Amino acid sequence: MNFYERPVSELRPGDHAWLAYTNNEEQATIVGDFVYDGLRTQEKVVYVTDSRPHELPGMLSRFGIDPTPFAEVGQLRLITLEQSCLTRGRFDPDRLLTTLDREVDVAFDQGFRAVRLTADLSWALRQPGGADLMLGCEHRFDAAVGASTMALAICQLDRGQCSPEELAALRDKHEVLVEVNPEFDDGVLKITRTFRPLGLRLEGELDGVRHAVFADTLTNIVPRAQKIHLDFKRLDFIDLGALNLLATWAMRMPGGYGLVLDNLPPDVADVIDMLGWHRFPGLSRGQGEQQ
Amino acid sequence: MSRDEKLVHEALLYRGRDEFLATVLPFVRDALEADVMMLAVVPQPAIEALRDSLGSASTSVGFLDASTFYEHPVRTIAAYSQVVTQAAPRRVWALAEPSWQGRSPAEVMEWARYESIVNAAFETSGARVICPYDVGELSGEVVAEAKRTHPRLLDATGRWTSLGYLPPKDFNRECDRSPLPPPPPRAERLRFEKAEDLRGLRRFVADYATRRRMADSALAKLHIAMDEVAGNAVRHGTPPMELRVWTEGGRLICEVADYGHWHPDALVGFLPPGEGLGLWGARMLVDLVQIRAGWSGTYIRLHTRLSR
């Protein structure tokens, strides 16, 4: 199946999106936005989980809210695994599909214009035969959500719980890969956090007008005491000031850390070669592109 | 600065291979004894002659072919700077013979300027450099410039102080004394005034360069250099600012003009900077940067060859 990446805020009814998160922070960032956007825009949010409302990813850490009041009035519905998808303690995909169908109908009857569904099924994958069960139900779930004019869904999986083969097979069942919202996007430059590897993806043109916002994003988002990757694949222009800014920033990182430039376009690699990598002591070539 | 950190930069005026070898071989042998890094950046025939004469000792000399090393004056200075830095704490001694044959008068002037800037760039490096000039082969102008760009001269008979020597800033000011010819009427122009306009300038240049089949890699470098220069005009210049683009003699020329009264250092952008990149970066990325700054305004021209 062809798939495309879409920021969480751009998910639309009919989208059955996939999230293989790398760590809790990525989950909190994406799922947190998904739930929060729903609550904020009077959409129904249905979350299959044994957690309590204030424990949902990102609610407290990102937004500082306890969504319990939304649960009390029915806009946020948490359904336990026992109530939604377990039969005698085993993952039961038929039961999950029935549950979600029912929840969409209920939301419709309640007058919501959209319903957001999400579940983290990493645990089910670890049950005997779990991967096959999940693969078997994804297409039915895809058909159900895809045909809906009001349902949008995110299937969550903890990357660390799956084998690469399972990940690839499950990803192929989804048309949309959900990713974080960009930290910045003015139509010229887009800056998006990446979690695997940790860093930022830059797209468009990074010029003098955008130095300040880029420096702020680096400072606010990226921890200094780590190796940080910057993905240049879709960066069409970077000026000398920005290269200098990267070098200055990297110099302030603790010893042994630095900025790794991934997918350097050949033209940019050529420019840095010409000016001399020794002028950018904290920067190093990463993987991809460049010749 | 202790005395031995001072650069020694001499022009050797020689006639023919024998005179060349007779003068440079003692210098090379001294270098090998002094445990310095000895570099010979000379034309291929001279490399072979030196290897033959030195025998097994030639393995301690770094040989580089001058025809490929001397392609771009600012890049050459940067490359030598790297050599000096990497050799430290050892000193660098060099035989450095740029290629002069086949250069246009404008190129000869840029390489003479390069010879002059060497005095400033390596002033405290402790390097010893002999630049051989084949006076039997080279034009009178090239030899005359050598006497103005090297503080000391030598030939088969001995060494002496060059009376015509000009300090680098004076030499550079002289190089840039005459005004640049005005842009031709066919030049395409675009006004700009703020940083937000630079993106439009990049589009404008890309459009013009693509119509003239400039290679993508050259355009990418021109974009960065032009952006730097135009950005400086926005920050420090006086409106109206204008970008002019035209082609001339197989080159695309991109001029940034403003009405500011800028009085740059005569060596601005020629020496590798300690930090920041600025105009040096622009000079590194295009084939030639010309600057004229005075009461009539500031004009910076970037030259990029259209084909390689």
Here the ipTM equals 0.91
Query: What is residue A256's predicted lDDT score, i.e. its pLDDT?
Result: 75
- AA identity, residue B86: Q
Q: How far is A237 from chain B (nearest CA, A)?
A: 8
Average pLDDT of the residues in B148-153: 98
Could you tell me where the beta strands, DSSP code E, fall in A148-286? Answer: 151-158, 176-179, 184-185, 189-195, 198-206, 228-238, 259-262, 283-285
Q: Do A275 and B202 touch (CB under 8 A)?
A: no
Could you tell me where the beta strands, DSSP code E, fall in B78-228? Answer: 92-96, 128-134, 152-155, 158-161, 188-192
Q: Do B221 and A274 touch (CB under 8 A)?
A: yes
- Nearest-by-CA chain B residue for A271: B221
Token pair 């990813």: residue: A57
The reply to whether A4-179 and A184-285 are identical in fold is: no
Chain A contact set for B79 (CB, 8 A): none
Query: What is residue A166's predicted lDDT score, i.e. its pLDDT?
Result: 87
User: Long-range contacts: B73-76, Cβ < 8 Å, 24+?
Assistant: B73/B110, B73/B111, B73/B113, B73/B114, B73/B117, B74/B269, B74/B270, B74/B280, B74/B283, B74/B284, B75/A274, B75/B284, B76/B114
Average pLDDT of the residues in B124-136: 96
β-sheet with B92-96: strand ranges across: B61-65, B37-42, B92-96, B128-134, B8-14, B152-155, B158-161
> 3-state DSSP call for residue A6?
strand
Chain B contact set for A274 (CB, 8 A): 75, 221, 284-285
Q: Do A240 and B284 touch (CB under 8 A)?
A: no
Report the residue from B198, B217, B220 with minimal CB separation from A208: B198
Per cent of chain B over pLDDT 90 is: 85
Going from the C-alpha of A182 to that of each of A33, B268, B305, the distances in angstroms are 12, 40, 39
Going from the C-alpha of B141 to that of each of A165, B105, B109, B134, B145, the distances in angstroms are 72, 9, 10, 13, 6
- Both tokens of residue A55? 């424990």
Instruction: Find the Cα–Cα–Cα–Cα dihedral A30, A31, A37, A40, rounded to 10°.
Output: -140
Q: What are the φ/ψ torsions at residue B229 (nearest 5 degrees)?
A: -70, -45
- Give the number of A-B residue pairs with CB atoms closer than 8 Å: 64
Query: What is residue B265's predicted lDDT score, i.e. its pLDDT?
Result: 87
Q: What is the DSSP letter of B88?
A: T
Closest CA to A278 of B39, B81, B119: B81
Separation CA B63–CA B276 (nearest Å): 32
- Residues with Cβ within 8 Å of A106's Cβ and at least 6 positions away in sequence, in order, are none
Query: What is residue B3's predicted lDDT score, i.e. its pLDDT?
Result: 45
Q: Which CATH code, of 1.10.10.10, 3.30.465.10, 3.10.290.10, 3.40.50.300, is assigned to A4-179?
A: 3.40.50.300
Other Cβ atoms closer than 10 A to A175: 17
Separation CA A233–CA A204 (nearest Å): 10
- Nearest-by-CA chain B residue for A244: B276
Separation CA A62–CA A33 (nearest Å): 9
- Which residues of chain A approach chain B closer than 8 Å at the C-beta? 188, 205, 207-209, 237-241, 243-244, 266-268, 270-271, 274-276, 278-279
Chain B contact set for A278 (CB, 8 A): 82, 85
Average pLDDT of the residues in B8-17: 97
B308 pLDDT exceeds 80?
no
Interchain contact B78–A (C-beta under 8 A): yes
On whether the CB atoms of residues A28 and A55 are closer than 8 A, the answer is no
Chain A contact set for B75 (CB, 8 A): 274
Indicate the domain borders of chain A: 4-179, 184-285
- Nearest-by-CA chain A residue for B235: A208
Q: Do B281 and A266 touch (CB under 8 A)?
A: no
Q: Do A188 and B199 touch (CB under 8 A)?
A: yes
Superfamily of domain A184-285: STAS domain (3.30.750.24)
Chain B contact set for A188 (CB, 8 A): 199
Domains in chain B (CATH in brackets) are 3-175 (3.40.50.300), 188-305 (3.30.565.10)
Query: What is residue A263's predicted lDDT score, i.e. its pLDDT?
Result: 97
Report the residue from A244, A270, A278 with minimal CB separation from B276: A244
Interchain contact B140–A (C-beta under 8 A): no
B11 pLDDT exceeds 60?
yes
Q: How far is B144 from chain A (nearest CA, A)?
A: 32
Q: What is the DSSP letter of B267?
A: T
- Both tokens of residue A269? 């690699």
Q: Do B227 and A268 touch (CB under 8 A)?
A: no
Separation CA A244–CA B280 (nearest Å): 13
A197 cis-preceded (ω within 30 degrees of 0): yes
Separation CA B68–CA A46 (nearest Å): 68
Mutate to test the interface with B, among A207, A249, A280 (most CBs of B within 10 A): A207
Q: How far is B131 from chain A (nearest CA, A)?
A: 25
Give the residues of chain A that fall short of pLDDT 70.
Answer: 1, 290-291
Other Cβ atoms closer than 10 A to B246: 18
Report the residue from A237, A271, A279 with minimal CB separation from B285: A271
Distance of CA A249 to the CA centre of its chain: 26
Question: Among A220-229, B19-28, B47-56, B228-237, which is the least confidently predicted range?
Answer: A220-229
